[in-house]
Structure 1
Amino acid sequence: MKFLVSGATGNVGRLVTEGLLGRGADVRALTRDPDAAGLPEGAEVVAGDLARPGTLRAALTGVERLFLFPVPGTAREVVAAAEEAGVRRIVTLSSGAVTAGLDASHHLPVEQAVEASGLEWTHVRPGEFAANKVALWGPSIREHRVVRHPHPDAAWFPVHERDIADVAVAALLDDGHVGAAYTLNGPGPISLRDQADAIASAIGEEIRFEKVTPEEARELYRRQGGFAAANADFLLGFEDYEGNPADPHALADFDPAALGPQPTAQQVTGIPARTFAQWARDHADDFR
């Protein structure tokens, strides 16, 4: 049985590729630039772009199960091409925002396209990626050993990307997951200040937490560029998930502990979800 992993060079796709190979699967990994992929040995690396479904014909040939990275604009065409090629099961990388009813335009259309196909499907819906902290805080920690943010005590349930990949691998390989939508979070809420402390412990150096205004933080992210700049307004509360204006100061009043325990990878894997401290140790080199 052949598996195709799309988004194979991403935080999750790379680990899905690794996890499938570790269980002896025949893995084909899709990327726009195979020469720069750097994927695990044993994967068949092929060129293709989900935004251009016409480039996927060769990659889909002989594939029975697909890990689908979310590209909403072409999702129906990609799913149709997969079905025509003989794919029988699709596991989508979705978002916990769908579970919360906040996402109507990005991940939800991909889920709907997959469900409408009649193929076997499972949706993996992670919440906040712990890995976002590399893009958001990495530059300031590496250069100045400081984190700057308006709400040091704001907390959430950041999820380790390996937990996400473990659930995706299980859904691709094992029976019993068809028709399920798994929302995944970290094992408990952790404040931004405590996240910074966990990274400090992982690298063995002190990290200062400097409180700034939302406007100052937005300007810092914009100057930083990349993921931080592209997502500054949403991450700092200036707009909601769909891009509508919001109050950035409302984040300080929200207590995630009031939500109670959140679903984690343990519901699928039977293994306790990885903590943020574990994630920080795994990524210590990204902050040194």
Structure 2
Amino acid sequence: MGKILVTGATGNVGRHVVAQLAAAGIDVRAFARRPERVQAGVEAVQGDLTAPETLEPALKDVESVFLLWPGMSTGNAAETVSAIARHARRVVYLSAYVPGGDGTAGHYGEIEELIRRSGLGWTFLQPGGFATNTLGWADQVRQGVVRWPYGEASRALIHEKDIAAVAVHVLTSAGHNGGAYAITGPDELTQAEQVRVIGEVVGRAVRWEDLPADEAREWLLAAWGDEAFVDSALKTWESFVDRPERATDTVRRLLGRPALGFRQWAEDHAEDFR
């Protein structure tokens, strides 16, 4: 098996992809803005996908790429995909799952289309909500009240370790070219229920308080700065009140074991909420 390049190698998902590949004895190269944060013993290259000139050297002798695109727009994605196609044979792209939708929305769908036209062998991983995004509530959990919109919005949040495990499986086994895998966690929980589980795990009573959507929009605009993305996120969260994100069995089918539950994720991250 040839060398695998992992982009976003120190992020929530990428660091687990690197660790799992290294543990399996796979030849892996980590591509990161801060290569000193890559685990010891793994080849690390400094680079940034928003600076395409840094990618070419990292692609030398690479057969497969795990692509995690930074940001909320396509930016120079066309140039990046072209560079990968000049060197590698296949790419596993971390996209997004849009339940009940017509394909993958926004920049995720645009990058998928670039990859389809590139000549590369490809597999798209399309996770639903990331459990790790609930770390954004950590300060409020410590105070005992989480104020956020749409407490009855229900999602099947996925553990980042499962996303990584699926990525590693796809990168290291045959039969996945042209696959688009919708992956979720096993538990369909409302946001208010997620907060309850976190509180139980850390041993603190935490209650949910619905935040009006217009107040949340102001906060998100200040934090994210992208008006279209903020409005799309709020609309998506609202939709999960009446049309919950349903759990898929893709993790079980691919890995031969159940997906990790939200309580397991909360236990793994308990110190982050204390």
- Give the TM-score, by structure 1 length: 0.84
Whole-Å separation in 2 of the counterparts to 1:164 and 1:12: 7
Establish whether residue 9 from structure 1 lines up as the match of residue 1 from structure 2.
no
Whole-Å separation in 1 of the counterparts to 2:236 and 2:106: 21
TM-superposed CA distance for 1:145, in Å, is: 2.3
Read off the aligned partner of 2:11 and give its amino acid letter.
Answer: G
Unaligned 5+ segments in structure 2 are none
| CA shift in 2, pair 1:5/1:194, >3 Å | same
- Give the TM-score, by structure 2 length: 0.88
Read off the aligned partner of 1:51 and give its amino acid letter.
Answer: T
Give 1:109's aligned residue. Answer: 110
| CA shift in 2, pair 1:234/1:55, >3 Å | closer
| CA shift in 2, pair 1:207/1:3, >3 Å | same
Q: Which runs of 4+ in 1 moved over 3 A?
A: 102-105, 216-222, 229-235, 245-248, 250-253
TM-superposed CA distance for 1:151, in Å, is: 2.9
Give 2:131's aligned residue. Answer: 130
Contact kept in structure 1, 2:156 and 2:246, CA below 8 Å: no
Unaligned 5+ segments in structure 1 are none
Give 1:50's aligned residue. Answer: 49
Give 2:232's aligned residue. Answer: 240
Secondary structure, in 3 states, of the residue corresponding to 1:265? Answer: helix
| CA shift in 2, pair 1:81/1:221, >3 Å | closer
Establish whether residue 139 from structure 1 lines up as the match of residue 169 from structure 2.
no
Whole-Å separation in 2 of the counterparts to 1:193 and 1:215: 19
Contact kept in structure 1, 2:155 and 2:240, CA below 8 Å: no
TM-superposed CA distance for 1:31, in Å, is: 1.0
Give 1:97's aligned residue. Answer: 98
Establish whether residue 254 from structure 1 lines up as the match of residue 254 from structure 2.
no
Contact kept in structure 2, 1:187 and 1:264, CA below 8 Å: no
Contact kept in structure 1, 2:152 and 2:241, CA below 8 Å: no
Root-mean-square deviation over aligned CA pairs: 2.6
Establish whether residue 280 from structure 1 lines up as the match of residue 272 from structure 2.
no
Counting matched residue pairs gives: 270
Secondary structure, in 3 states, of the residue corresponding to 2:152? Answer: coil
Whole-Å separation in 1 of the counterparts to 2:97 and 2:33: 27
Contact kept in structure 1, 2:186 and 2:260, CA below 8 Å: yes
Give 2:79's aligned residue. Answer: 77
Secondary structure, in 3 states, of the residue corresponding to 1:97? Answer: coil
What does the per-residue CA deviation read over 1:209-240, in whole Å, with 9 as the maximum and x for residues that have no partner? Answer: 22332234445556xx64xx5589867xxx23
TM-superposed CA distance for 1:39, in Å, is: 2.1
| CA shift in 2, pair 1:94/1:246, >3 Å | closer
What does the per-residue CA deviation read over 1:173-220, in whole Å, with 9 as the maximum and x for residues that have no partner? Answer: 111211111011111310112101111122122112223322344455
